[in-house]
Structure 1
Amino acid sequence: MKNEKGFTLIEMMIVLMVISVLLIITVPNITQHNTTINTKGCDAFVKMVEGQVQAFNIDKKRLPSSIEELVSTGYLKSGETSCSDGRQITLTAGGVVTAVEPTTPN
């Protein structure tokens, strides 16, 4: 009597080949769209900060003077002043929130 429990070497190699093909297909697609993902994530973060500016305006009856004021009053966490792609969040005097590229010293 043969013990037929388990997988043969050929079956294991076929499974590994299928997994490899799936990885070869998906990894380049993810890395190719990395900049798009970061841009959309930053745009969503800017919208969230705009919401916090509006909440500050409703609570305090005035616009915040800077992003640091939003952090110090608890409307943003201290690490939430930049996007994951490195762009800094800025706030103009009119309450407009934008994401700008960080300046590099020469």
Structure 2
Amino acid sequence: MVNLRTTRRSAGFTLIELLVVLAIVATLLALSLPRYAQSVDVAKERVLVENLRTTRDAIDKFYADTTRYPESLEELVERRYLRALPMDPVLENDKAWRIIPPSNDRKGQVGDLKSTAEGQTLDGRPFNEL
């Protein structure tokens, strides 16, 4: 005859075994989450810098082709200098840019753009001065 007591015990995990596994998983999460959060912040900064560089390059090419600055960022998209409006990854918005008009009474409205995000990069530079 089969002993039911030993069959039931070997069929599953005890509460203590489950608690030990949960404690190990919690410890691993506690060690990895700060690194994950920092890597997300670094990635947002890099995307912001790259979006600003690409958009400024498109503004310069537009000026070189037309001898005037664009009236809006949408004009850069319409004229295919950009595929889409640039996204500010810190604000997660493509409409929150601060548009800086060109200097020296040149035609057009968009001479440069900057982020309107509050805060600073990991190296201490304000987002709105990149």
Quickly name the TM-score band, shorter chain normalised.
Answer: 0.5 to 0.7
Show the 5 A alignment for 1:74-89. 75-77=82-84, 80-86=85-91, 88=97
TM-score (norm 2): 0.50
Match of 2:33 among 20, 24, 27: 27
Task: Describe the superposition over 1:5-46 as per-residue Cα deviations: whole angstroms up to 9, x where unpaired.
Answer: 222222211111111001111222333455433211212323
**What is the letter of the counterpart of residue 12 of structure 2?**
G
Whether the aligned pair in 2 keeps the contact of 1:88 and 1:99 (CA below 8 Å) is yes
**What is the letter of the counterpart of residue 99 of structure 1?**
K
Is 1:8 the counterpart of 2:6 in the alignment?
A: no
Question: What displacement does 1:51 show?
Answer: 6.7
**Larger-gyration structure (1/2):** 2
Identity between Structure 1 and Structure 2 (%): 19
Aligned residue pairs, count = 98
How far apart, in 2, do the equivalents of 1:46 and 1:12 lie?
50
Structure 1: give runs of 5+ residues left out of the alignment.
none
Show the 5 A alignment for 1:1-106. 1=3, 2-3=6-7, 4-49=10-55, 61-62=65-66, 65=70, 66-73=72-79, 75-77=82-84, 80-86=85-91, 88=97, 98-101=113-116
How far apart, in 1, do the equivalents of 2:17 and 2:55 lie?
53
Task: Describe the superposition over 1:38-70 as per-residue Cα deviations: whole angstroms up to 9, x where unpaired.
Answer: 21121232344467668879xxx5476142212
Whether the aligned pair in 1 keeps the contact of 2:88 and 2:115 (CA below 8 Å) is no
Structure number with the bigger relative contact order (C-alpha 8 A, sep ≥ 6) is 1
TM-score (norm 1): 0.57
Question: What displacement does 1:83 show?
Answer: 0.7
Of the structure 1 ranges 48-57 and 83-92, higher mean CA displacement relative to structure 2 is found in: 48-57
Aligned with 2:52: secondary structure? helix
Question: What displacement does 1:72 show?
Answer: 2.8
Whether the aligned pair in 1 keeps the contact of 2:44 and 2:89 (CA below 8 Å) is yes
How far apart, in 1, do the equivalents of 2:12 and 2:112 lie?
60
